[in-house]
Amino acid sequence: MKQRKYTDEKIGKVEVVPDFLPKPEELVLKQETVKVTLSLTKESVDFFKKEADKHHAHYQTMMRNLLDHYAHQHRS
């Protein structure tokens, strides 16, 4: 992987985007589901497994609820 060199320069106009993603503990609700096959990075799966253990939840449910929340935020 090529290393990036960062400099102390102005980056221009910055826009603060409000955090619209829920906290991990908010991702443990039950809903009707549909089975899909999806390949994810090990890093993401490990994160959700760790958070699920902390909250005595299922990591797949937390992931599903995160996607549902994202879809709800961007529904037209």
What pLDDT sits at residue 26?
Answer: 79
Over residues 15-35, the mean pLDDT reads 82
For residues 32 and 14, give the distance between their C-alpha atoms in angstroms, rounded to a whole number.
Answer: 40
* 34 vs 27, higher pLDDT: 34
pLDDT at 8: 83
Q: What residue spans define the domains of the chain? A: 29-73
What pLDDT sits at residue 41? Answer: 97
Contact at 8 Å (CB) between 33 and 68? no
Between the alpha carbon of residue 22 and those of residues 45, 60, 73, the distances in Å are 17, 15, 11
- Write down the pLDDT at residue 55: 94
Q: What pLDDT was estimated at residue 12?
A: 84
pLDDT at position 66 is 93
> CA end-to-end span of the chain, whole Å?
38
**Mind giving me the DSSP string for 39-51?**
---HHHHHHHHHH
Model pTM? 0.58
